[in-house]
Structures are given as structure tokens and as C-alpha cells.
């Protein structure tokens, strides 16, 4: 399909749904409840680096669960798939993203729900100091996106840390299940998890990340391998089966592309060998995905 026609199709969809006022802001993290519900932006990045933007595509938002595929990719690179699988499963959960539920081996179902992402955070440079571990994550985003603009929302971080009873409960259950790596500290692990959810970017940056995944991990000038193809494949597989929370089955059936959503109202979707798409609009449906 030709790029101009494709962008025109996106523009039509944008116009058609921009006045939809359905959905609710995530209010279990108080800072997210103060987001502007009218923000709406869509960015598309092609594999050769063309970008189409419509709406609020310069607005920075915290990426929340859209951080999870990146953390999963980082731990696959650091430890290899076999070691990671000793701590995290790869099946859809069929439950809400923050459900207190584990697989038959007492492990999190997959790395894209809260339990699995907390476990994944525990595997990021586990023997380093907490400042180095956060640095490692934000530098990885900057390296892959080739941008120093990637930032951090401290208010969201504090807000989330102060209202995290459920994520603490999940972590204590996993500690009791004995599946954290040796010497993991719940407090340090959760801080790193909240920090990675509080990283901020725009739809332009997130669509570039999606485009790099669509390009098998290669930079969009095709010069550099930014993420190994095998890791891209592993990440896209879990995004395809589990990226949209408890809507993942219907999403795969109806839409059929790997995607990930976050409770701030962002989604990024990967069309392999074609493009990356990112959408931001804060009101959520009752599964936790942006309505728009």
C-alpha cells in the first residue's frame, strides 16, 4: 500500500473517533487521574523512517506497561531465554493485568502483566546498585531510540509508589513462592518497576520503537542491529498473545498484530516489515486499554 493512502486512512480514523468521550481515567494511580482526557495523538513510523503525526503527538506521557516489552528484551539479552523462563512464563493469563494469580509452577504467567514485569525488573542487573539499574534502563531506551529526550515523571513515580498495595501483595506472594532470583529485595525491585513505568516519551518516540521492532530490531537506516532478531521475535510473540491484558485474545483475533498498552492510555502496535504505530488517549475501557 502507498504511504500517502495509508496516512489518509489513519487521518480518517482519527477524525471519526476523536470526539468519542467513552472510558475513564486510571484513578488507582492518583497522578494518572489528573491527565487531560481530551489528549489524543497517533504517530506512525515507516521502516525507512517516514513519520506521520496527527493530534497531540508532542505530548509526553508516562509509558506505564508499554515499558514491559523493553524490560523483557533487556533481561533476555542479559540472561538468555532459558534462565528467564525459570522465573517467568510465556502464556496469556486470561486475567486482569494486576491479578493475584500465577501459573501451575507458581510463576507469573507472562512478562507483560504486573507480576511478570515485577519479576523481570528483579532480573535487570540484579547485583548492581539501584541507581545503576535505573540508569541501565533509561540508557537502553535512549540507545535504541537514538534520542536523549526520553525522560522521567517523578510525580507519577511517587504517586504510584504510594498507592501500590496490590503490587506489594504480588511481590510478597512471589517471594513466598520462592521464584525471585537470590538476594532480591522487594523494595528495590518495586522501585525499579515503578521507575520504568514512569519513563516518559511521545507517540513519535514510541512509534519509532514499534518500527524498530517491525524492522527485526534494525535501525531505520538499516545500518545497525539495535536489538537481536531472536529477542525481537520472543518479544513480539508475547505481545501478540498477551500485550492487551485480558483483551489480548479478541485483539489478536480482530486486529491480529502484536501490541502493548499502558494504563496512561498509550498503545504501541507493530506491523512486522511495514511500520510501527503509537496512540495516546488517556480514557481507558474496563480492561485497562485506551478506548480510542
The CB-of-1 to ligand GLN minimum distance in angstroms stands at: 31
24 vs 35, 52, 57, 133, 286, CA distance in Å? 11, 27, 21, 34, 8
- Binding residue (CB under 6 A) for ligand GLN from 262, 265, 276, 283: 262
- Binding ligand GLN by CB under 6 A: which of 75, 197, 211, 212? 197
The residue (of 153 and 160) whose beta carbon lies closer to ligand GLN is 160
For ligand GLN, the closer of residues 92 and 288 by Cβ is 288
Q: How many CB atoms lie within 10 A of CB 291?
A: 17
Q: Which residue in the shown chain puts its C-beta closest to ligand GLN? A: 65
41 binds ligand GLN (CB under 6 A): no
- Residue 160 in contact with ligand GLN, rule: CB under 6 A: yes
75 binds ligand GLN (CB under 6 A): no
Among residue numbers 96 through 115, which ones bind ligand GLN (CB under 6 A)? 97-98, 114
- Binding residue (CB under 6 A) for ligand GLN from 150, 244, 263, 270: 263
Counting every residue, how long is the chain?
292
| Grid coordinates belonging to 208 | 519509532
Task: Single out the residue of 128, 114, 121, 130 nearest to residue 173, CA to CA.
Answer: 114
Q: Closest CB to ligand GLN among 140 and 160?
A: 160
Whole-angstrom CA distances from 247 to 17, 157, 286 are 20, 26, 10
Say whether residue 57 binds ligand GLN (CB under 6 A): no
Helix residue ranges per DSSP H, 36-95: 68-79, 81-85
Taking CA atoms, 37 is separated from 84, 115, 202, 244, 245, in Å, by 37, 28, 16, 20, 21
Considering only residues 200 to 239 of the shown chain, the ones binding ligand GLN according to CB under 6 A are none
Q: Is 289 in the site for ligand GLN (CB under 6 A)?
A: no
Quick check: 64 binds ligand GLN (CB under 6 A)?
yes
Distance CA 73, CA 65 (A): 14
Q: Are strands 51-55 and 151-152 parallel, antiparallel or unpaired?
A: unpaired
| CB of 145 or CB of 197, closer to ligand GLN | 197
Give contact residues for ligand GLN (rule: CB under 6 A).
64-65, 97-98, 114, 160, 167, 197, 262-263, 288
Amino acid at each position: 500500500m502507498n504511504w500517502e493512502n495509508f496516512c489518509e486512512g489513519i487521518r480518517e480514523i482519527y477524525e471519526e473517533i476523536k470526539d468519542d468521550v467513552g472510558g475513564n481515567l486510571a484513578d488507582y494511580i492518583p497522578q494518572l487521574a489528573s491527565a487531560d482526557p481530551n489528549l489524543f495523538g497517533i504517530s506512525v513510523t515507516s521502516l525507512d523512517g517516514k513519520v506521520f503525526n496527527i493530534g497531540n503527538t508532542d505530548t509526553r506521557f508516562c509509558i506505564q506497561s508499554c515499558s514491559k516489552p523493553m524490560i523483557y528484551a533487556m533481561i533476555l539479552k542479559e540472561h538468555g531465554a532459558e534462565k528467564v523462563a525459570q522465573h517467568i512464563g510465556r502464556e496469556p493469563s486470561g486475567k486482569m493485568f494486576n491479578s493475584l494469580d500465577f501459573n501451575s509452577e507458581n510463576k507469573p504467567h507472562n512478562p507483560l502483566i504486573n507480576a511478570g514485569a515485577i519479576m523481570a525488573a528483579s532480573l535487570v542487573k540484579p547485583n548492581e546498585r539501584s541507581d545503576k539499574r535505573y540508569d541501565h534502563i533509561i540508557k537502553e531506551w535512549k540507545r535504541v531510540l537514538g534520542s536523549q529526550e526520553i525522560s522521567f515523571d517523578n510525580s507519577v513515580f511517587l504517586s504510584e509508589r504510594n498507592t501500590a498495595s496490590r503490587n506489594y501483595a504480588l511481590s510478597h506472594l512471589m517471594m513466598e513462592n520462592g521464584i525471585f532470583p537470590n538476594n532480591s529485595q522487594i523494595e528495590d525491585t518495586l522501585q525499579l518497576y515503578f521507575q520504568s513505568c514512569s519513563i516518559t516519551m511521545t507517540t513519535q518516540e514510541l512509534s519509532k520503537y514499534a518500527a524498530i521492532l517491525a524492522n527485526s530490531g534494525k535501525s531505520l537506516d538499516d545500518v545497525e542491529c539495535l536489538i537481536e532478531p531472536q529477542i525481537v521475535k520472543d518479544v513480539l510473540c508475547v505481545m501478540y498473545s498477551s500485550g492487551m491484558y485480558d483483551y489480548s485474545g479478541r485483539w489478536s483475533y480482530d486486529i491480529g498484530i502484536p501490541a502493548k498498552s499502558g494504563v496512561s492510555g498509550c498503545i504501541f502496535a507493530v506491523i512486522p516489515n511495514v511500520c510501527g504505530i503509537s496512540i495516546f488517549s488517556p480514557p481507558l475501557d474496563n480492561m485497562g486499554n485506551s478506548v480510542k
